[in-house]
Amino acid sequence: MALNVTTDLSPFKWIIPCGIQDRQVGSIKELVREGVGHGIADLHHLNDASLIHITHKSLLEEFSQVFQLEYNYKRISSTMLYERK
């Protein structure tokens, strides 16, 4: 699964992703911009990092509901990634 949040989509003009010829590749950022224009969302003020965070959190929540899973979210620092037990 690929989820484009703030990705530069210009390279996708040269390929046909997944063999789907009659559709374009999109991103969450573009969808938010379109939604703001139609009064759907008030997220235009978000920076890329915030938009990625919101998308990640929403994806985890929706995935866990669909598959009836419980997850625990724990923040870790980069130093914790390199610590050895």
- Residues 22-61 have pLDDT tens digits of 888 888 888 887 775 555 556 667 788 988 888 888 898 9
Q: Is 2 inside a domain boundary?
A: no
pLDDT in tens, 58-83: 898 999 999 999 988 778 787 877 77
Q: Is residue 20 over pLDDT 90?
A: no
Q: Is 4 inside a domain boundary?
A: no
CB 17 within 8 A of CB 25: yes
Q: Is 72 inside a domain boundary?
A: yes
CB 50 within 8 A of CB 32: no
Q: Is residue 85 over pLDDT 60?
A: no
Q: Is 14 inside a domain boundary?
A: yes
- Using alpha carbons only, give the angle 63, 65, 2 rounded to the nearest 5 degrees: 10
Q: Is 20 inside a domain boundary?
A: yes
Q: Which residues are known to be catalytic?
A: 18
